[in-house]
Amino acid sequence: MALILTLASPFPVSLAARRPRLPSKKTTHDKKQSHTSIGFGGDKKHELWRCVEGCGACCKLQKGPSFASPEEIFTHPSDLELYRSLIGPDGWCVHFQKSTRTCSIYADRPYFCRVEPDIFESLYGIHPKKFNKEACSSCRDTIKAIYGSNSEELCNFNNSTRGIF
């Protein structure tokens, strides 16, 4: 899954300097396995990020204007080229299998498809200690944008990540 942060999320210094954070347009934000708004008794302070099955929202690679663009995220031309090469005519990744909502190249997916602390730190400058919070927030923003704020996918994600201590 290519989890892209929204413009309202924390950005590396270089990005923040180029593009100011949007107010709270917080529309907010792995997929083989592949939601929430906390509100079902969950505790954001203690949530632990995990991908939930049947989602795949982050494999829609052409995201809306609330999300950071690939040009803003990647510093290496090869990464940008690879990202662009994955975008199908409908905006979804060409490797995303819609019938099963899984990744057909999961074991060999690009590094930027991996939701891991070191990847969040290198791409977004997010400290590993904040990984869970930011990854959960990013998933919610993405799921809301793709499936809606009242979607089953979002509910599943919230139920999956809340209250894991």
Name the residue among 22, 57, 74 with its Cα closest to residue 138: 57
**Distance from C-alpha of 8 to C-alpha of 134, rounded to nearest angstrom:** 11
Among the listed residues 31, 63, 144, 162, the single contact to ligand SF4 using CB under 6 A: 31
* Residues in CB range of 95: below 8 A, 6 or more apart: 59, 86, 103, 104, 105, 109
The CA distance from 48 to 114, in Å, is 16
**Beta carbon nearer to ligand SF4, 16 or 59:** 59
| 57 versus 126: smaller Cβ distance to ligand SF4 | 57
Residue 7 or 57 having the CB closest to ligand SF4: 57
DSSP string, 1-69: ---PPBTTS---HHHHHHSPPPSS------TTT----S-SS--GGG------TT--GGGB-S--TTBPP
Residue 70 contacts ligand SF4 per CB under 6 A: no
How many residues sit close enough to ligand SF4 to count as binding (CB under 6 A)?
Answer: 26
Piece in contact with ligand SF4 (CB under 6 A), picked from 13-21, 38-46, 118-126, 139-147: 139-147
Nearest distance, CB of residue 13 and ligand SF4, angstroms? 25
Q: Is 68 in the site for ligand SF4 (CB under 6 A)?
A: no
> Should residue 154 be labelled a site residue for ligand SF4 when binding is judged by CB under 6 A?
no
Residues 41-60, one symbol each (x = binds ligand SF4 by CB under 6 A, - = not), give ----------xx--xxxxx-
Q: Residue 132 and residue 122: Cα distance in Å, rounded?
A: 15
Which residues of the chain form contacts with ligand SF4 (CB under 6 A)?
Answer: 1-3, 30-31, 34, 51-52, 55-59, 86, 93, 95-96, 103, 105, 109, 113, 115, 139, 142-143, 157
